Structure 1
Amino acid sequence: MALLRNVDRTLDGPWEMIVTAPGACAGPGDLGALTGFIPAPVPGTAAGALRAAGRWSEAEPTPLHGSDVWYRTAITGRGREILRFEGLATLCEVWLDGTLLLAGRSMFLAHEVAVDLDGTHSLALAFRSLAQDLARPHKRGRWRPQLATPGSLRHARTTLLGFMPGWCPSVDAVGPYRPITRRGEGGRPTGIDLRSAVADGTGILTLRLTIPEAVGPAILRCDGREAVLPETAPGRFEGRLELPEVALWWPHTHGEPRLHAAAVEIGGQTFDLGRVGFRTVTMLRPFAEGLSLAVNGVPVFCRGACWTPADLVGLPGDRDAYAPLLGLAVEAGMTMLRVGGTMLYEGQAFHDLCDELGILVWQDLMLANFDYPTDDPAFRAALDAEIAQLLDRLQASPSLCVVGGGSEVEQQAAMLGFPDSVWRAAAVEARLREAAAARRPDLVVVPNSPSGGDLPFSTDAGVTHYYGVGAYRRPFEDARRAEVRFASECLAFANVPEPASLAEAGLTDPRAPGWAAGVPRDRGADWDFEGVRDHYVGALYGVDPEALRRDDPARYLTLGRAATAEVMEATFAEWRRPGSVTAGGLVWLWRDLAPGAGWGVVDVAGRPKSAWYALRRAFRPVQAVLSDEGLNGLRAHLLNETAAALDLVVALTFASAAGKVAARAERPVSLPPRGAVSLTSAALLGRFFDAANAYRFGPAAHNLAHLRLSAPDGTLLAEAFHFPSGRDATPREIGLSAALVAERDGIALRVASERHALGVHVALDGPGRPADNWFHLAPGAERRLALVGTSGRPSGTVRAVNGSGAIRF
């Protein structure tokens, strides 16, 4: 059932909260003698309320699952009302005037209860100790994962956040973290089934609803057009509205994410149905051959990240919490975000914003790694209700495109040696497919992430979690050799935040004892993801990371930031080239869950890291990449995902670091709409040149190849670099310069270099950031960078990884 908009009133309180020993209060009547209540925002969490009261710290999180937590408020009204609880974490009792109304066992289910009001009443919520519930005897699963503990979590419908030692802080999710609302009974439609579809360019909006004792016709309106819905049974209306040539919804990289307001008028009263989008999502090949998606018939390379909550402590679900982070995703050119099975279902505002911004959403069920008791009727019933509520709530969301059966359930069992008859999550997949067919037949269903091959983590089938380049320390060439079809997770590194963020967190020295707490590791592993990053620092720059960490920690962090940026760009350049079998890659993770060098490409404060800037370049809709084809030289791949044909200029230059040109070619090129052009270095130059330094006929004539794609007026659109002899990061004088310049849209920063500049990075003295960072400059080149979020006349420094010092501006 889709939800009406702007109908229910939030039950804001004021609320107050108290933490008690488990079982200390059997009911709300026992609260009267207690003192120590604190204000508690709703929606919100107990940890968030304690933090606001100065009684909780991220550095030393107060355990809450071992306690009971009580919320209470007064509610005033007369007559029958419906109270709706969108999300209660996790074992919750709802009491009205000492009478138990509801006992819920899932933080993923919404609940509605009818109450009869006659004046002022006392409403109380009791969140019972989850730790006590998990400690009671439970049937053990066939396997016990390393990811989370305790094993009895397989029976609990709660987030795994806070239960995953090694990469997630122990923050306990307790409380009414989603809105509580109230409404009068009757007088509004129920059983709303709203669906959008596209057929031969015509948008089709269908609606079914019930409103007892309705007087007059029901009229469905959308995009300035309307249709009368016939009354098919007393109080039951259903019909369709056709919208020829309706503007379609597109991912923001491929077009405009057009939304259309929909409403229904019944008996002179108008009900807001929200905004709908019209689009199709189809698979371009069988799932066994690798997930590959088309939107509105156009193939889309799905790139983005695996989402993490905006605040692990408070678990906010409002627009203000989501908007800055989703804005960064759009700015980075991300087309997809995956909400994985270790997280939690995000609030409605998240999906509304993804609809508005044009970000595709992959939504997993909240199932991960465990052997879930799908043979238990109560568990199955709760899971069925969870799936139904999720799909009903997002029934009209065009951004939702993939639903998955969870994360690493199949992989966990397969890696422990079980046969496929055990590890295939057939029961969950069947239930998900049945529910999607009934409620959202336009969605693509993925059995599990990963899944689809002879083993669920096979890289050349279905969807995979690809960490060949990354955790398994494979060379860059493995990104092609592995024949990755779709990486629903990839490229996990301990990404180092910018210096300002480290200073705020008191983590400026990687040798300090507290540094390791911010570095993620897999539980039980004898290595961590800082070691993974260090491996690529050594491989890329020919240094000893351990010695550098000991002797020059600032340089160690600088090369760490540069290395993860290089790896991100190189991997996606391989995957996005024409001829690649890869149809998508989602980086693990979007945002850090704690201060320090976490997996996120955005730090815990919401600031981009070097990896984010690299992805921003790698994800450009109009893109240029170079691939090393060995004896066939280099190949320039020029991509255009927009709907317009583009007449551009491509230039390929082979030079020394000092700028001595060994070969150069420049020519106009026409890129078809949503198409690509690939050109060999031989075709561009019109002659033989050892572009990849593969033939080795004498000393190399160059150590840098630079591909530049520009508009006819010279505006840079994209560029790529190739280093046939490796990246020389030895600090030297390179003629780096920086100056502020006035532009039409404000002050910009002009950065130039006489010699090749490796990993140019800007640090502002005050708030704000450059639009790009951790980029390369060709010899004699310059960049003009917009400065985001600054005020007045900004100042700061510019450095290069291979430069001899800092340049002030």
Structure 2
Amino acid sequence: MALLRTVDRTLDGPWEMIVSGPGACAEPGDLDTLTGFIPAPVPGTAAGALRAAGRWSDREPRPLHGSDIWYRTQLEGQGREILRFEGLATLCEVWLDGRLLLASRSMFLAHEVAVDLDGTHSLALAFRSLAQDLARPHKRGRWRPQLATPGSLRHARTTLLGFMPGWCPSVDAVGPYRPITRRGEGGRPTDIDLRASVEDGTGILAVRLSFPDAGGPVTLHCDGRALGLTETAPGRFEGRLALPGIALWWPHTHGEPRLHAVAVEAGAATFDLGRVGFRTITQARPFAEGLSLAVNGVPVFCRGACWTPPDLVGLPGDRAAYAPLLALAAEAGMTMLRVGGTMLYEAQPFHDLCDEFGILVWQDLMLANFDYPVDDPAFRTALDSEIAHLLDRLQTSPSLCVVGGGSEVEQQAAMLGFPESVWRATAVEAMLREGVAARRPDLVVVPNSPSGGDLPFSTNAGVTHYYGVGAYGRPFEDARRAEVRFASECLAFANVPEPVALREAGLTDPREPAWGLGVPRDRGADWDFEGVRDHYVGTLYGIDPETLRRDDPERYLTLGRAAVAEVMEATFAEWRRTGSITAGGLVWLIHDVAPGAGWGVLDVAGRPKSAWYALKRAFRPVQAVLSDEGLNGLHVHLLNETAHGLDVALTLTFTSAIGKVAAKAERTLSLKPRAAVSLSSAALLGRFFDATVAYRFGPAAHALAHLRLDRADGVPLAEAFHFPAGRDATPREIGLSAALDQDGDGFVLRVAAERHALGVHVVLDGVGRPSDNWFHLAPGGDRHLALTGTGGRPSGMVRAVNGSEVVRF
């Protein structure tokens, strides 16, 4: 049942911690023989405490799973209280005054224990060696994945983070990483079941709760309306409040993510039950034809990224840790984040913020790649409790929309050649569907990610992990040819951070051996994701990346940043065009877990990389894209996902690199709410023009097609570019200029170019960032970039991939 959080007090110590040999202390009394305790924040991890004490190295993380780790504090109070442990990683004993209260074997379950207090008491937590437990004899699975070791992890309910060599640092998650709270018994409602739904446009808020101490009528309040609850049994109250005309919750790109406060009143006391959002989530087509979601009856192209924890060492779960990353996700136009099965369940503030920002959440069970022992009653019981705990905790979260049975379990078995009778995860799917039906029937269940086709990783059914464009080096056209229906993972590259991040990490030279430590690779593969990025550098710019890396490492990194941005925009332009069958794409990953050129579109400090800027352009709710339709010409696609109509002006210009106009079309039109419009270049121009250089009747008349979409009042909305002869990155004079102006309390950088400018990028000398980066300029074009977070008058430089100028400002 959903639990009140506002009346619980955090048991934040002070706590102290010590690392000991496995089994060195059988009980808390043995700790008196040890020295070397250090302060330990709770919630927190042992690694985080060691880092705070100056005993931690990010380059050489200290192994912790081979040790026992003890936490202890003093607990004062009188009378009976409930201690709640939100998350204990992973094999934990809880002791009070030398008496064992609790033994937990899962970091994914919360526990409550009633205690009788009388003064000052000693509370101790013993985190036993996970390595010793994994080394015990275990029944082997039918397959052993390359992703993580050891194979006995299939029996453990712990995160795979730290166990995945090749891309994730070996940081061991140990400790009370989620809050420990205390509360008194009685005096407040408990066993709260609160459900928000929409029926025929009317919001319905149904509640059941226990309140033996109510002492009279109990009233439910929401949206300025009230309902007296019925006492259906002694101390048990129920009610169903109808809310006609209630403002619905929307993804932030499609409307306002409206939340409504809920409270119950009993006598003179009012109890906060949190906030709810009213929305519907439905599948727009059968899952076998590809996952496609509609929110409040409106189809939503789900775009975003796969989530990673804000800090792998401390595993923080507070608003301050989540908010900057989620704010950047929203700014980039992301409508969905997927918490995959290789990660861990994020804390309540993550979901609260997603509710507030209007970002949909796809939540996997923490199952990935392994042949899990679902035939073991103990494992099934633990997993069933895990599902129930997850759904109860997120019972009122409107952003939660999809729950999945884990990551690449079916794919792993299928790729090893097992038949469907083996790779199909029917047991987990059945458990998940049963739990969702009982607790969150409004959610969509995905059996596994990927799943749904003849093979679980088929691209043209269900959901897929699409790496055709990307890891498999396929051309851009494969994004259409593969008939991707929904990519719950895609577009993984070794994304190069901006220069400031590389300087901080001491990774400025890609030729040095240390550089490779930050480059992700799939374990067992003879290639890495830097090679994937380099493939597209060569394809896009016609150069040999290895030679460039050796002779000009700075330009090698520049072209690497530019190439990733190009691939991101081109792929999502294909998937979002009118007529596309693709309903979503989630980039792998949102945030680096270590310094270097990792998978994240944000670096380890949460700063945007070139890929983030590209996604911000690709994910615009009001968007203009171009698609090369060969002999059918160039097609313009205009998208308006918002709830409001727009009067717009469209300009499509075909020019040479120096700006000589070969053809031009202008048109004004009205975009209806939630509408898309597709127009061919022939229709816009009113005559034949070889817009895609497909007919080749003599030399091409243009080198660049530029689409610009403006609001009727002249405010720019979106741009798109098409390069029929490819991207010429040869440096030359392009007339690049930059001027810095003050705009109120902030600064705006005006960037312009006389010729076509490819991959224009701004590098600030200090802190801060531009509102856009790694973008193109049409000949004679300009951009006005807001500079944020600079702390004063900024300085820096502007360059273009194809420009020889270095412009200081």
Alignment TM class, shorter chain as reference? over 0.9
Is 1:644 aligned to residue 644 of structure 2?
A: yes
Q: Equivalent residue for 1:580?
A: 580
Unpaired runs of 5+ residues, structure 1, are: none
Q: Which moved more, 1:248-257 or 1:707-716?
A: 707-716
Q: Secondary structure at the match of 2:33?
A: coil
Letter in 1 for 2:301: F
Give, in whole Å, the separation in 2 of the partners of 1:729 and 1:550: 18
Is 1:788 aligned to residue 788 of structure 2?
A: yes
Give, in whole Å, the separation in 2 of the partners of 1:400 and 1:488: 15
Give, in whole Å, the separation in 2 of the partners of 1:341 and 1:379: 17
Give, in whole Å, the separation in 1 of the partners of 2:596 and 2:701: 43
Q: Equivalent residue for 1:367?
A: 367
CA-to-aligned-CA distance 1:329-386 (integer Å, 9 cap, x gap): 0000000000000000000000000000100000000000000000000000000100
Q: Equivalent residue for 1:230?
A: 230
Aligned partners of 2:291 and 2:485 also within 8 Å = yes
1:450-599 → structure 2 map (5 Å cutoff) = 450-599=450-599
Give, in whole Å, the separation in 2 of the partners of 1:127 and 1:334: 38
Give, in whole Å, the separation in 2 of the partners of 1:263 and 1:622: 38
Aligned partners of 2:109 and 2:389 also within 8 Å = yes
1:335-350 → structure 2 map (5 Å cutoff) = 335-350=335-350
Q: Equivalent residue for 2:438?
A: 438
Aligned partners of 2:186 and 2:213 also within 8 Å = no
CA-to-aligned-CA distance 1:198-249 (integer Å, 9 cap, x gap): 1121110000001124311110000100001100011000011111100000
Give, in whole Å, the separation in 1 of the partners of 2:73 and 2:90: 19
Letter in 2 for 1:191: D
Give, in whole Å, the separation in 2 of the partners of 1:783 and 1:620: 17
Q: Secondary structure at the match of 1:751?
A: strand
Q: Secondary structure at the match of 1:32?
A: helix
Q: Equivalent residue for 2:302?
A: 302
Shift of 1:404: 0.2
Aligned partners of 2:746 and 2:788 also within 8 Å = no
Q: Secondary structure at the match of 2:246?
A: coil
1:406-445 → structure 2 map (5 Å cutoff) = 406-445=406-445
Is 1:127 aligned to residue 127 of structure 2?
A: yes
Q: Equivalent residue for 2:728?
A: 728
Q: Secondary structure at the match of 1:414?
A: helix
Give, in whole Å, the separation in 1 of the partners of 2:590 and 2:456: 24
Letter in 2 for 1:399: S
1:70-219 → structure 2 map (5 Å cutoff) = 70-219=70-219
Give, in whole Å, the separation in 2 of the partners of 1:669 and 1:726: 31
CA-to-aligned-CA distance 1:528-577 (integer Å, 9 cap, x gap): 00000000000000000000000000000000000000000000000001
CA-to-aligned-CA distance 1:731-786 (integer Å, 9 cap, x gap): 00000000102335632000000000000000011110000000000000000000
Give, in whole Å, the separation in 2 of the partners of 1:697 and 1:672: 39
Give, in whole Å, the separation in 1 of the partners of 2:424 and 2:627: 37
Aligned partners of 2:493 and 2:564 also within 8 Å = yes
Letter in 2 for 1:3: L
Give, in whole Å, the separation in 1 of the partners of 2:685 and 2:742: 38
Change (3 A) 1:745 1:660: farther
Give, in whole Å, the separation in 1 of the partners of 2:711 and 2:254: 19
Shift of 1:54: 0.3
Shift of 1:700: 0.1
Give, in whole Å, the separation in 1 of the partners of 2:519 and 2:378: 39
Q: Secondary structure at the match of 1:728?
A: coil
Aligned partners of 2:3 and 2:191 also within 8 Å = no
Give, in whole Å, the separation in 2 of the partners of 1:473 and 1:704: 25
Q: Secondary structure at the match of 1:724?
A: coil
Aligned partners of 2:166 and 2:522 also within 8 Å = yes
Give, in whole Å, the separation in 1 of the partners of 2:48 and 2:664: 59
Q: Secondary structure at the match of 2:802?
A: coil
Letter in 2 for 1:174: V
Give, in whole Å, the separation in 2 of the partners of 1:357 and 1:5: 21
Give, in whole Å, the separation in 2 of the partners of 1:410 and 1:7: 43
Change (3 A) 1:413 1:313: same
Q: Secondary structure at the match of 1:214?
A: coil
Give, in whole Å, the separation in 2 of the partners of 1:101 and 1:714: 68
CA-to-aligned-CA distance 1:501-542 (integer Å, 9 cap, x gap): 000000000000100000000001100000000000000000
CA-to-aligned-CA distance 1:51-84 (integer Å, 9 cap, x gap): 0000011111000000000000000001111100
Following TM superposition, the consecutive aligned residue runs of length 4 or more in structure 1 with deviations greater than 2 angstroms are 742-746
Letter in 1 for 2:668: P
Q: Equivalent residue for 1:20?
A: 20
Q: Secondary structure at the match of 1:472?
A: coil
Give, in whole Å, the separation in 2 of the partners of 1:764 and 1:744: 20
Q: Equivalent residue for 2:713?
A: 713
Instruction: State how many pairs are aligned.
Output: 809
Letter in 2 for 1:614: A
Aligned partners of 2:77 and 2:120 also within 8 Å = yes
CA-to-aligned-CA distance 1:632-682 (integer Å, 9 cap, x gap): 010000000000111100000000010000000111011110101100000
Q: Equivalent residue for 2:57?
A: 57
TM (norm. structure 2) is 1.00
Give, in whole Å, the separation in 2 of the partners of 1:434 and 1:117: 39
Shift of 1:300: 0.2
Give, in whole Å, the separation in 2 of the partners of 1:142 and 1:661: 64
Q: Equivalent residue for 1:351?
A: 351
Q: Secondary structure at the match of 1:305?
A: strand
Give, in whole Å, the separation in 2 of the partners of 1:122 and 1:191: 29
Unpaired runs of 5+ residues, structure 2, are: none
Q: Equivalent residue for 1:312?
A: 312
Give, in whole Å, the separation in 2 of the partners of 1:634 and 1:701: 14
Letter in 2 for 1:615: L
Shift of 1:4: 1.0
Give, in whole Å, the separation in 1 of the partners of 2:576 and 2:97: 61
Letter in 2 for 1:424: R
Q: Equivalent residue for 1:447?
A: 447
Letter in 1 for 2:673: P
1:664-743 → structure 2 map (5 Å cutoff) = 664-743=664-743
Give the superposed CA RMSD.
0.6
TM (norm. structure 1) is 1.00
CA-to-aligned-CA distance 1:122-169 (integer Å, 9 cap, x gap): 000000000000000000000000000000000000000000000100
Give, in whole Å, the separation in 2 of the partners of 1:742 and 1:656: 34
Is 1:29 aligned to residue 24 of structure 2?
A: no
Give, in whole Å, the separation in 1 of the partners of 2:265 and 2:402: 32
Q: Secondary structure at the match of 1:668?
A: strand
Q: Secondary structure at the match of 1:321?
A: helix
Is 1:5 aligned to residue 5 of structure 2?
A: yes
Q: Equivalent residue for 1:269?
A: 269
Give, in whole Å, the separation in 2 of the partners of 1:620 and 1:101: 53
Letter in 2 for 1:372: Y
Q: Secondary structure at the match of 1:83?
A: strand
Shift of 1:714: 1.9
Letter in 2 for 1:16: E
Give, in whole Å, the separation in 2 of the partners of 1:422 and 1:610: 42
Identity across the alignment (%): 85
Give, in whole Å, the separation in 2 of the partners of 1:177 and 1:379: 23
Q: Secondary structure at the match of 1:748?
A: strand
Shift of 1:718: 0.1
Shift of 1:805: 2.7
Give, in whole Å, the separation in 2 of the partners of 1:647 and 1:744: 29
CA-to-aligned-CA distance 1:415-447 (integer Å, 9 cap, x gap): 000000000000000000000000000000000
Letter in 1 for 2:253: T
